[in-house]
């Protein structure tokens, strides 16, 4: 009963659990997205998020987002007493830039995500699936950060143009 009362009061004040946040972009009229080195999953995710934010993806637009690289890796974080890996650290990284015509708005900016997880060689298939899902989650979070950064750059450029 007390739990239900606390839950209703939190819900009533507007509090909610943190989840994936959809970023509403102050959409530029059109944007090119170019990929030098990126997975098909990143291309699909980024194009989908930009399109759903109302961005016109157009190959002749002056505003150009360049994804220079996407990297993911893992390293051993800890080893058990038997000498077997017991924990991994996963890293995900995007390198990108943004320019509008001849003006560089963002120059070679890096977005990084990092997660660690317990590894058990007795359940290799399950842990492989967990690693895959963690990389998917990190990619989604990196795309969200990228969209917020793009929005900030576009808004700042518009404010600067209006001030002049």
CB under 8 A, 24+ apart: contacts of 120-125: 120/86, 121/84, 121/85
Distances (CA, A) of 79 to 92, 96, 110, 121: 22, 35, 30, 12
Q: For residue 36, what pLDDT is reported?
A: 96
How would you label 67-79 residue by residue, b for 16+ Cβ within 10 Å and e otherwise? bbebeeebeeeee
In this predicted structure, the answer to whether residue 102 has a pLDDT above a threshold of 80 is: yes
pLDDT top residue among 159 and 111: 111
In this predicted structure, the answer to whether residue 16 has a pLDDT above a threshold of 70 is: no
Poorest-confidence range of 35-39, 66-70, 124-128, 149-153?
Answer: 124-128
Q: For residue 9, what pLDDT is reported?
A: 52
Q: For residue 5, what pLDDT is reported?
A: 44
Q: For residue 140, what pLDDT is reported?
A: 96
Confidence of residue 139 (pLDDT cuts 50, 70, 90): very high
Q: Domains of the chain by range and CATH?
A: 2-163 (3.30.160.150)
User: Which stretches of the chain are assigned E, i.e. beta strand?
Assistant: 32-35, 63-79, 85-100, 103-118
Contact 113, 138 (CB under 8 A): yes
Q: For residue 142, what pLDDT is reported?
A: 97
Other Cβ atoms less than 10 A from the Cβ of 160: the count is 10
In this predicted structure, the answer to whether residue 29 has a pLDDT above a threshold of 80 is: no
Confidence of residue 35 (pLDDT cuts 50, 70, 90): very high
Q: For residue 80, what pLDDT is reported?
A: 87
């Amino acid at each position: 009963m007390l739990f239900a009362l606390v839950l209703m009061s939190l819900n009533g004040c507007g509090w909610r659990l943190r989840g994936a946040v959809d970023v509403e972009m102050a959409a530029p009229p059109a944007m090119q997205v170019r990929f030098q080195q990126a997975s098909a999953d990143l291309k699909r995710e980024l194009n989908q998020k930009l399109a759903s934010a109302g961005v016109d993806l157009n190959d002749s637009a002056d505003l150009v987002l360049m994804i220079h690289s996407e990297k993911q890796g893992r390293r051993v974080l800890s080893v058990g007493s038997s000498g077997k890996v017991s924990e991994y650290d996963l890293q995900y990284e995007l390198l990108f830039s943004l320019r509008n015509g001849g003006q560089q708005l963002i120059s070679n900016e890096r977005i990084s995500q990092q997660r660690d997880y317990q590894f058990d060689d007795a359940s290799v298939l399950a842990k492989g699936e967990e690693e895959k899902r963690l990389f998917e989650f990190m990619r989604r979070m990196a795309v969200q950060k990228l969209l917020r950064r793009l929005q900030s750059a576009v808004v700042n450029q518009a404010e600067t143009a209006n001030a002049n």
